[in-house]
């Protein structure tokens, strides 16, 4: 009888004190692994909100496919630019032209894939900046490294695997944050401009490989309300 009472008391102790403590610590652990999309609202995203830019003299299906939820975009260094008189390098890009913004806190999310060999290419950009710049942020790939423009290496090797990309642009604060695989990786300053939009795909840069490809799935545009 005494033993039973002692057991009841220890169970009581476990449930009264130990269990809430365990629950508290697991909540704490969850809170520490903050998802970059927390506090953001996902906006509708379908073909009404984007447009495929590709070499002007080719039909879109020569440089872009959308199969099983995967956008595949490719381009060759010898391809033409997006319009006849454009001085820009070749590209095949998803231009999210349905969500141009000039204020607020916006976020791009997508899962990217870059095959081994693709190099010297911009795979994601926040378009719009004060001249002489055209973009506020570029994520590029050089020899397998994911970089901020041609400067900072964000991830040393991204070839042949899916990686999650979250880019947050706070226009008023003139700040951008990059999360790779959910981990805060890089912060950059804004570069001015009064109309921005997100793009992803392949936009060739100096030192480009002959063939360039990136794939994207789960693309989302989100906004802090
Ligand atoms: C895209 O989504 C918008 C908003 O939900 C809707 O009005 C529009 O009809 C959709 N367009 C297509 C092509 O699905
Ligand atoms: C968004 O801006 C681009 C230029 O940066 C423009 O070409 C496009 O038409 C704009 N989209 C909308 C819906 O206004
Ligand atoms: C990419 O391909 C080259 C040539 O086949 C190979 O040497 C290299 O190890 C590959 N890199 C990765 C990260 O798979
Ligand atoms: C990439 O690798 C090639 C061949 O090894 C080299 O010539 C080039 O300088 C490298 N580019 C960068 C940006 O590291």
pLDDT tens digit at each of 225 positions of the chain: 455 455 454 545 444 554 444 444 444 444 456 899 999 999 999 999 999 999 999 999 999 999 999 999 999 999 999 999 999 999 999 999 999 999 999 999 999 999 999 999 999 999 999 999 999 999 999 999 999 999 999 999 999 999 999 999 999 999 999 999 999 999 999 999 999 999 999 999 999 999 999 999 999 999 999
Nearest CA to ligand 3 atom 6: 116
CA 143 to centroid of ligand 3, rounded, Å = 10
Best residue among 113, 114, 115, 116 to mutate for probing ligand 3's pocket (most ligand atoms within 8 Å of CB) is: 116
Is residue 142 in contact with ligand 4, taking CB distance under 6 Å? yes
| CATH architecture of the region 36-224 | Sandwich (2.60)
**Cα–Cα separations (whole angstroms), residue 185 to 42, 147, 172:** 22, 11, 21
Domain ranges for the chain, please list them: 1-33, 36-224
pLDDT score of 25: 45
- Residue linked to tokens 């060739």: 204
* Ligand 1 within 6 A of CB of 46: yes
For residue 10, what pLDDT is reported? 52
Closest to 195 (Cα-Cα) out of 105, 126, 146, 138: 126
Q: What confidence score (pLDDT) does residue 12 get?
A: 52
Q: How far apart are CA 79 and CA 58, in angstroms?
A: 9
For the CA atoms of 102, 88, 83, 103, the dihedral, rounded to the nearest 10 degrees, stands at 0
Note the ligand closest to the C-alpha atom of 99.
2
> Is the CB of residue 3 below 6 angstroms from any atom belonging to ligand 1?
no
Any atom of ligand 2 within 6 Å of the Cβ of 196: no
pTM: 0.86
Select from 90, 108, 93 the least CA-distant residue to 52: 93
């Amino acid at each position: 009888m005494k033993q039973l009472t002692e057991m009841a008391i220890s169970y009581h102790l476990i449930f009264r004190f130990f269990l809430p403590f365990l629950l508290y610590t697991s909540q704490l652990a969850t809170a520490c692994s903050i998802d970059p999309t927390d506090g953001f609202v996902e906006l509708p995203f379908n073909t009404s909100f984007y447009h495929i830019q590709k070499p002007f003299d080719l039909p879109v299906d020569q440089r872009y496919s959308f199969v099983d939820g995967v956008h595949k975009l490719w381009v060759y260094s010898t391809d033409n630019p997006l319009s006849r008189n454009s001085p820009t390098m070749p590209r095949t890009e998803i231009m999210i032209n349905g969500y141009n913004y000039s204020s607020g806190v916006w976020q791009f999310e997508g899962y990217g894939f870059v095959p081994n060999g693709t190099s010297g290419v911009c795979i994601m950009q926040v378009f719009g900046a004060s001249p002489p710049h055209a973009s506020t942020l570029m994520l590029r790939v050089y020899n397998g490294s994911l970089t901020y423009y041609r400067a900072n290496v964000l991830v040393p090797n991204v070839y042949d695997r899916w990686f999650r990309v979250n880019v947050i642009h706070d226009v008023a604060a003139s700040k951008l944050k990059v999360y790779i695989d959910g981990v805060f990786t890089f912060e950059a300053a804004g570069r001015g401009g009064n109309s921005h939009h997100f793009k992803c795909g392949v936009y060739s840069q100096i030192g480009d490989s002959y063939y360039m490809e990136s794939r994207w799935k789960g693309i989302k545009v989100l906004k802090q309300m």
